[in-house]
Structure 1
Amino acid sequence: MTPDIIPPESDAAKAILQVDMLKQLSLAEQQRHALQHELDTLKERFRYLHQATQDAVWEWDLLKNVGWYGDGLHQLFGYTPETLGDGIQFWYNSIHPSDKDRVLNGIHAVIDSGEKNWRDRYRFKRADDSYAWVLDRGYVIHDAAGVAVKMIGSMQDVTVEIEAKEALRESEEKFRGAFDQLAVGISIADPSGNFLSVNKAYPNIFGYSEAELTSKKISDLSHPDELEGDRRIIQDLLSGRQQMVAREKRYIHQSGKIIWGRVFGTVIYDAYGKPKYIVGVLEDITEQRQVVQALRANEERLRLVIDAAKIGTWNYDPLTGIVMWDDRCKAMFGMRPEDPIDYAEFLLRVHPEDRERADRANQNAIKGLDNGEYDLEYRTIGKYDQKIRWVRAKGRSYKDETGTTVLYTGTTIDITEEKERTQKLQEQEERFRLLATSIPQIVWTTDEHGIVDYMSEKWVQYTGHVPTYEKFSFRTLMHPDDLERVIPAWNECMRKGITFRMEYRLRNIHTNEYRWFDCTTAPLMGQQGKVVKWIGSATDVHDQKMVELHLEQKVAERTKELVQSNQQLEKSNAELEQYAYVTSHDLKEPLRKIRTYSNLITTKFHSQLAPDVQHYFTKIESASFRMTALIDDLLKYSQLSTTETPFIEVDMNEIVARIAAEFDDTLKQKEITIDVAPLPTLQAIPIHLHQLFLNLFSNAIKFSKQDIPNNITITSSLLSAEEKNSYPSLTNAGDHYKIQFKDNGIGFSQQYAEQVFNIFQRLHNRKDFEGHGIGLALCRKIVHNHHGVISVTSEEQKGATFTIILPSGQ
Structure 2
Amino acid sequence: MTDQFFDDLARGEDLLQKIAIAASGCLYSLVHRIDGSVAFTYISPYVQEIYELTVEAVMADANLVLKQIHPDDIADCIATVEQSRETLQTLSREHRIITPSGKLKWIQASFRAERLSHQETAWYGMALDVTSQKVTSQKQAEADKFRLSFDHANIGMCLVDLQGNFLQVNEKMCQIFGYSSLEMNRMNVATLAIPEDNLISQEFIQGAVEAHKDSVIFEKRYRHKLGHIIYGEVSSSLVRDNEGNPLYFISQVQDITNRKLHERELLKAHDVIAQNNIELEERVSQRTADLQKRQEALSQNERILRRYFEQHIVGMAMTSPNKGWINVNDRLCEILGYPFAELQELTWDKITYPDDLAIDLDHFNRVMSGEIEGYEIDKRFIHKHGQIIYTNLSVQGHRKPDGSIDFFVVLMQDISDRKQAELALQESQNFLQQIADASPHIIYIYDLQEQRNIYVNREIGTILGYRPAEIQAMGSAFFAMLMHPDDLQNIQTEYELLARATDGKVYDCEYRMRNTQGEWRWLYSRHSVFSRDAEGRVKYTIGSAQDTAY
Would you say same fold, with TM above 0.5?
A: no
Greater fraction of residues in strand: 2
Q: Could you tell me the TM-score, scaled by structure 2's length?
A: 0.40
Bigger relative contact order (CA 8 A; separation at least 6)? 2
Q: Could you tell me the TM-score, scaled by structure 1's length?
A: 0.28
